[in-house]
Amino acid sequence: MNRWRTQPRAPATGRASRERGITLVELMVAMLVTSLLLVFLLTVQTQLSQGFRGQSVASEVNSNMRMAAGAIRRDLAHAGYLLPAGQVEVAPDIDPDSLLQGFRVRNDPYGDGPDELHMIFGDDGQLALINGIQSQAANVQIDIDDPSTFDDGDIVILSSLSAACLLKVTGTNPEFVTVNPSGAPFNDSGDGTTPNPHCDNLRQAIIDEEPSHIYRFTGRSYRIDPERPEAGVLQMSPSGGLVPDDWVNVGVGFTNLQVATRYFEEGRTVDLDGDGDPERNWYSGDNQENPPPGAVPIAVSISLETRSRSQVGDVPTPATPAFIDLDRPDHNPIGDFGQACPGAALDPCGVDLAGTSDGDRPERYAGDHLYRWTTVTVNLRNMHTGDPPTLGGDDGEGDEEADGDDDA
């Protein structure tokens, strides 16, 4: 017997089977699950990024719009301040009628939608009491209590309880400020001989011993630059539009400015705007430039539209709003920019941006942008009383109603 006989080999256990590799099917399933997870994470990240970008762009556009609307509103609240009946006489070569209102509108002056807005008012932070006026040939010397308040070249308003006129200071001394026809255009007599005839009513008021003052003139005009509509440049004139070509750029990305004016018409019995008050009616379009005789402006509505400075292909606005009410196109508090939507005669639309190529849009709407707009209403409380101007007591803040901002 072989004592060294080999013992039988133990049967295989499950350990070897447990150590076998991952199969191809398992690997493919794992890769698929991983891919789906990555796609999900990338989609969420993209959406969050787009949302953040959209909020950032919207915040920038809203901030731009509100700062501009606030500046215009503050100037409107001062329109006509310290001017008797809200108006002032000027030299003939500035205005054929020799009379400027504290508030004026030019409706669609460039034929592309946006309006122009003009305001003038007195500044009670720079004023003096008028003691008398003396004429020496072409020169007119205005005796005031503090001539050092003004400098050569200042544009000033001479105002009494019943009249006001606009002049340019051409000289000063310890007792007088001087104006003469060489201070054109504000002092131009028209024929170069008669000194400042547009101030004749003011002279008579001083002769009649009406309290009279001299103020620094302040003017503001706003428009969207007609020469660069694609840039949407908001411009301001520091002369209130009286000096040609003195526009300065104050903002970029503004595409529309619409104005409507509410007038008080004493005795009118026909309710033109349908608000239940026949004596107070909104005018929009060209008719607000030439209201009926005796109509007095008491409120103005400003609709301002702005857009993102850069194009945003991921969050563009599909259409602009309509600043009009087609049920009453000539008497609404929004404006006169809009059109009837296809298939709905009285449903106003703005400009279709999503379905219209750049070549078929107004230039100011080229490209894919994010738009915001707001409508602000300001009471013209310095325009509609006709009472004598008062010193102090006016904070320059008009009543305001804001519709807020919106997008399509």
Predicted local distance difference test score (pLDDT) of residue 277: 95
Query: What percentage of the chain carries pLDDT values higher than 90?
Result: 40
- Higher pLDDT, residue 363 or 16: 363
Average pLDDT over residues 28-42: 75
Q: Is the pLDDT of residue 276 over 90?
A: yes
Q: What is the CA radius of gyration of the chain?
A: 34
Residue 190 has pLDDT above 70, yes or no: no
Residue 1 falls inside a structural domain:
no
How buried is residue 408: exposed, middle or buried, by Cβ count under 10 Å (0-12/13-18/19+)?
A: middle
Report which residue type is found at 345.
Answer: A
Contacts 24+ apart (CB under 8 A), 238-243: 239/155, 240/100, 240/118, 240/119, 240/120, 241/104, 241/116, 241/118, 242/90, 242/94, 242/100, 242/120, 242/166, 242/185, 242/186
Kind of pairing, strands 339-341 and 296-307? unpaired
- Supply the pLDDT for residue 237: 95
Query: What's the rounded mean pLDDT across residues 90-98?
Result: 74
pLDDT at 11 over 70: no
Q: Which two tokens stand for residue 388?
A: 């004598």
Report pLDDT digits (tens) over 368-386.
888 999 999 999 988 864 4
CB atoms within 10 A of CB 4: 5
**Residue 403 pLDDT greater than 80, yes or no:** no
Query: Is the overall model pTM greater than 0.95, yes or no?
Result: no
Q: Is residue 27 part of a domain?
A: no
Please check whether residue 245 lies inside any domain of the structure.
yes
Q: How far apart are CA 40 and CA 17, in angstroms?
A: 36
Q: What is the mean pLDDT of residues 168-177?
A: 87
Judge whether 40 lies within some domain. Answer: no
How confident is the model at residue 157, as a pLDDT? 93
**Alpha-carbon distance 153 to 147, whole Å?**
13
According to the model, what pLDDT value does residue 387 have?
Answer: 40
Q: What's 12-61 look like in SS3?
A: CCCHHHHCCCCCHHHHHHHHHHHHHHHHHHHHHHHHHHHHHHHHHHHHHH
As for how many domains the chain has, the answer is 1
Q: How far apart are CA 394 and CA 299, in angstroms?
A: 17
- Could you tell me if residue 265 is inside a domain? yes
345-366 per-residue burial string, b: 16 or more CB within 10 A, e: under 16: eeebbbbbbeeeeeeeebebbb
What is the domain range of residue 91? 65-406
pLDDT of residue 156: 93
What is the arithmetic mean of pLDDT over 43-54? 56
Of the candidate ranges 81-90, 187-196, 261-270, 391-400, the one whose mean pLDDT is the lowest: 391-400
φ/ψ of residue 138, rounded to 5: -80, -15
Mean pLDDT is lowest, of 151-160, 353-362, 368-377, for 353-362
pLDDT on residue 58: 79
* Residue 37 binned pLDDT confidence (cut-offs 50, 70, 90): confident
How far, in Å, CA of 298 to CA of 306, rounded? 27
Collect all residues with Cβ–Cβ distance below 8 Å to 290 and sequence separation of at least 6: none
Least confident of 195-199, 263-267, 312-316: 312-316
Separation between Cα atoms, residue 289 and residue 268, nearest integer Å = 19
Cα angle, residue 287 at apex, residues 243 and 374 outer, rounded to 5°: 75
**Contact partners, residue 160, CB within 8 Å, separation at least 6:** 84, 202, 205, 206, 210, 211, 212, 213
Query: Which of 293-302, 305-314, 392-401 is predicted with the least confidence, judged by mean pLDDT?
Result: 392-401
User: Would you say 132 and 212 are in contact if contact means Cβ atoms under 8 Å apart?
Assistant: no
Q: Which residues contact 404 (CB under 8 A, 6 or more apart)?
A: 374
Cα 187 from chain centroid? 31
